[in-house]
Structure formats: structure tokens, C-alpha cells
Amino acid sequence: MAAPGIPTADREKLLEFLLRLADDHLILGHRLSEWCGHAPMLEEDLAMPNMALDLIGQARALYAYAAEVEGEGRTEDDFAYLRREREYRNCLLAERPNGDFAHTMLRQLTFAAFMEPMWRAMTASSDATLAGIAAKAVKEVAYHIRHAGEWVVRLGDGTEESARRMKAAAEELAPYVGELFETDEVTEAMAAAGVAPDPASLRQEFDRTIGAVFVEAGLAIPAAPWAQSGGRHGRHGEAMGYLLADLQYMQRTYPGAVW
Amino acid sequence: MAGRPGGGAKGLDAAAKAWQAAASVLDPEVPCVTIADLGILRSVEIESGVAVAKVTPTYSGCPAVLAIELSVEAALRGAGFDARVERVISPAWTTDWITAEGREKLRAFGIAPPEKAANSVRALFGETIVHCPKCGSENTSRVSEFGSTACKALYRCNSCREPFDYFKCI
Ligand SMILES: [Zn+2]
């Protein structure tokens, strides 16, 4: 069933690719869920868990498929809850702490602006399962762009205080943008097999989306002093361990617990 | 073959009966419509004596998926079948699959049905015109992109002043 067009030798690369994508969505979804009960207003208290549900739902579908591709009897829960920090392949952007509301919204916009063209291209993936997951996700991520984009404009073009915070968020997140577009033997294999686009090819569209929002928000795009990297190879920031302690608590304490 | 009602052969009768049982399951979060109205019940077939229902999730993170699958299985067993439910991901469900009857039921329940043509490219800050389910007015405004469940957004009618849910278009 898995991945027509992928020779068996590349199964490992497909698995790696699926875990990167799934981990991005699980970890960012977990971050958003941390806002539940703490958002600045009721509508946002509904919005953030809703977006978290989208992301975690997408992650579930990807983990379930990863388990099938791996074929060693692991389940989606094993991938989500029972790996060690160095085995997670998410981009560093996803694990960045929530910070203030401006920070969270810009992180969301950044990730969504990257994923929208990615999912769109993957709706035509040579891998039918991924094409099905993408067909749904591409519509969901459009909501995230719109929602987060509107907040970035409202805050960037808002009061002196909100503009200061949005500018600070832009500067702090800038080093984490480059990693999204990294190319290596995994992304090359996926592009060659028509499974997923080369991330580097999405950069122009990403810049257009972010540029349009920043112009309306009256924000300048900060030059990143350096590009932080390592998440795709399991090298994470300090915040990741704390996040996993929270995320994995239940399964580590009550192994095998189910609903 | 997929067991929509009708047909004369014995197997088909069983399939039609199974379809009817599964199709009567209500959506747990929007209980004014059945899963057949929503278009998420894809098919019910009899395979070597077992009723196999194919169900597709609405939104990726829909927490109701499992509840729906269990309800379908229970409904089929209640109708006397051995039953199995399969989750189908591709092709992906869209709100365009909601039947005309389903859309009418949503409206009568006070939920604005999704505007058609989910696949059209949405402008980044473009607004969809959503009609008020009470008075039909086009003069409505969005209160929040995200509502009480993953599938709904919050709107307000500027004509009759009613707040209402809009079933999001995906
Ligand atoms: Zn009205």
C-alpha cells in the first residue's frame, strides 16, 4: 500500500520525511494547546485549541502512515509519546516557547506560510496516502494563515506597545526561518520520487506571503544574523526537554494507558 | 456494490438494510444531521457476511471521528450484522459533499451551511459572504474564525442581530 514510486531502499527516507512532518505538527500543536485557558480573550481561547486540533490531527494521520511504512508494529502513540528527545525531527521553530501572544501568532503565521505551498504541492503527491492527508490539510492551513496573519497586522499596526512586541517577535524568530527550507538527501529523495516538493523551492512563495502581511502590518523583515539549525537531526533547544516532559507525562507514568 | 437503497437481489437487500442502519447515525457534534447527510458515510458493503462501512473524517483533528466509527459499528450490530468500520482518507472529504437535505437541516437548526465551491482559491484576507440562517440576510459579520467545534466559525447577523454558527467551508 505504501508509496508507489518509492523503491524499497528509500523506505527509510520516506519514514524520516514522514517523522519530520509529523513531529513539526505534533510539537507545534502541543505548544498551541498550552494556551488553552490562558488566551487573552474567549475567541482566542477557542481558536488556539482548534488550530492545535488541526495540527495534532494531521500529525496523527502522518504517524499512523509512518507506522505502516516502518512495518515493525509501532503505533502512532509509540511515535508521539515514546521516543527520546534526540529522536524527534521537528524544526526548531515549532518548539520555540509561546512567549507573548505576538510571538505565538508570528510563529503560527511563519509555519503556516511554509506549509501552505508544501501541502498544496503534496495534494498531487505520487504517494496516495500523503495526497489524501494533504488535500484536507491544505484547506485547514489556509485558515491558520488568515487567522495568524490578521493578528500580525492588528498588532504590528496597533498600539505602540503591540507594535514593539510584534517587532521583538520578528527579531527573535528570524533565526529559525532558514531551517524550514533546508535540503538534504531525504528531501532530495522525496522530490525525485514526486512525493513532496523540494523545500527550497517554496521559499519564494513563503517570502511573498510573509512580505504581504508585514507590509500591511508596517513591519520590516529583520535580517537573520544567523540561521539556527539541527532539529531535523534531533538536536533541539533547551525548551524541548521541558515540552516533552509535559507531552509524555501520562504515557511514561501509566505505560499503555488508553482512552 | 455499495448498498444504497434499492435493487432486488438478496445481497443487495442486506446491503440496503445495512446502509439504512449506518446512515441513521447522527453526528455527535452537530446532532441535527446524519453522517449520510454530511457525506462522511462513503459506502456500506456486505463482504462474506460482514457489513463493512467506510467512513471518512471531516477535519484532520475532528475528535468525533472515533465516536462516529463506534456508533456506526453499534448501529450495524443493532440491525443484526457482523460489522467492521474502515477509515478512508483519500479522496479527502469536502463540505461540498454535504447533501442538499443536510444543508437544509443545518439551516433549520440555526447553523449556516458552508458556502459552495470549497476548492476555489481563497484570497488571503478575502471574506466569504455568509447568509444568516434565520433571516437570510447577507449582512453578516464574522466574530471568530474558530467556534465551539473544529467545523464551525462564529458569526453575527447585522440585520436581525442573531449570533449564529457557520459550518466552515473546506
Ligand atoms: Zn439575520
Given a contact cutoff of 8 angstroms between Cβ atoms, the answer to whether A192 and A201 are in contact is no
Q: Distance, in angstroms, between B87 CA and closest chain A CA?
A: 11
Alpha-carbon distance of A232 to B118, in angstroms, equals 34
Cα(A74)–Cα(A81) distance, integer angstroms:
11
Nearest to B55 by CA among B25, B85, B11, B94: B85
Q: How far apart are CA B166 and CA A246, in angstroms?
A: 34
Number of domain units in chain A: 1
Q: Residue A237's domain is classified under what CATH number? A: 1.20.1260.10
What are the pLDDT digits (tens) for A206-225? 999 999 999 999 999 998 78
- Residue A156 clears pLDDT 50, i.e. is over it: yes
Domain co-membership, B30 together with B56? yes
Query: End-to-end distance of chain B based on CA atoms, in angstroms?
Result: 29
Domain membership flag for residue B133: yes
| Residue A239 one-letter amino acid | A
**Predicted confidence (pLDDT) at residue A86 exceeds the cutoff of 90:** yes
Query: Residues B53-83: pLDDT tens digits?
Result: 999 988 887 778 889 999 999 999 999 999 9
Q: Which of B21, B56, B87 is the last residue of a domain?
A: B87
The mean per-residue pLDDT over the stretch A65-76 comes to 94
B93 to chain A: nearest residue by CA? A136
pLDDT (0 to 100) of residue A42: 86
- Whether residues B60 and A142 touch (CB distance < 8 A) is answered with no
Q: Where are the alpha helices (DSSP H) in B10-149?
A: 10-23, 35-38, 65-78, 100-109
CATH number at residue B34: 3.30.300.130
Please indicate whether, in this complex, the C-beta atoms of A58 and B146 are within 8 angstroms of each other. no
Q: pLDDT grade, residue B3 (50/70/90)?
A: very low
Residue window 41-80, chain A: list those with CB within 8 Å of chain B.
43, 46-47, 50-58, 60-61
Position A258 in a domain: no
Distance B138 CA to ligand 1 centre (A): 8
Please check whether residue A135 touches B, CB under 8 A: yes
- Residue B60: give the domain boundaries: 10-87
Take residue A185 and report the three cell numbers written for it.
538527501
Confidence of residue B166 (pLDDT cuts 50, 70, 90): very high
Residue B72 cell numbers, joined: 456506526
Q: In what order do the strands lie in the sheet with B111-112?
A: B111-112, B163-167, B152-157, B140-144
Domain count, chain B: 2
Size of interface A-B (CB pairs under 8 A): 85
Of residues B128 and A112, more confidence is placed in: A112
- Among B42, B59, B60, most A C-beta atoms within 10 A, so best to mutate, is B60
Chain A residues with beta carbon closer than 8 angstroms to that of B146: 43, 46-47, 50-51, 143, 147
CB nearest to A140's CB, from B147, B148, B170: B170
For chain A, where are the alpha helices, taking DSSP H only? Answer: 11-33, 42-70, 76-81, 92-95, 101-122, 128-156, 160-173, 185-192, 203-217, 238-253
pLDDT tens by residue, A181-192 = 999 999 999 999
Tens of pLDDT along B90-143? Answer: 888 888 899 999 999 999 999 999 876 544 444 344 557 899 999 999 999 988
The answer to whether residue A28 is domain-embedded is yes
Residues B106 and B80 in one domain: no
How far does CA B95 lie from the centroid of its chain? 8
A1 found inside a domain: no
**The residue type at B67:** A
Cross-chain residue pair B89–A133, CB shorter than 8 Å: yes
Looking at B87, B121, B151, the residue that finishes a domain is: B87
Give the count of alpha carbons within 13 A of A105, CB side only: 26
A26 lies in some domain:
yes
Of the listed ranges B126-130, B142-146, B152-156, the least confidently predicted one is B126-130
Same domain, B79 and B140: no
Instruction: State the average pLDDT for chain A.
Output: 94
Looking at the predicted structure, is the pLDDT value of residue B8 above 80?
A: no
Q: Is residue B103 domain-shared with residue B154, that is, in the same domain?
A: yes
Beta bridge partners of B41: B55
Amino acid A40: pLDDT: 87
pLDDT for position A224 = 79
Which of B20, B54, B87 delimits the end of a domain? B87
Question: Which ipTM did the prediction report?
Answer: 0.71
Q: Is A194 helix (H, G, I), strand (E, B) or coil?
A: coil
Query: Residue A59 in contact with residue A26, Cβ under 8 Å?
Result: yes
At residue B5 the predicted structure's pLDDT band, cuts being 50, 70 and 90, is: very low
Q: Reduced to 3 states, what is the DSSP secondary structure of residue A223? A: coil
Q: Are B15 and B69 in a shared domain?
A: yes
For the cut 90, the answer to whether the pLDDT of residue A55 exceeds it is yes
For residues B79 and B112, state if they share a domain: no
Nearest to A58 among B60, B94, B148 (CB): B60
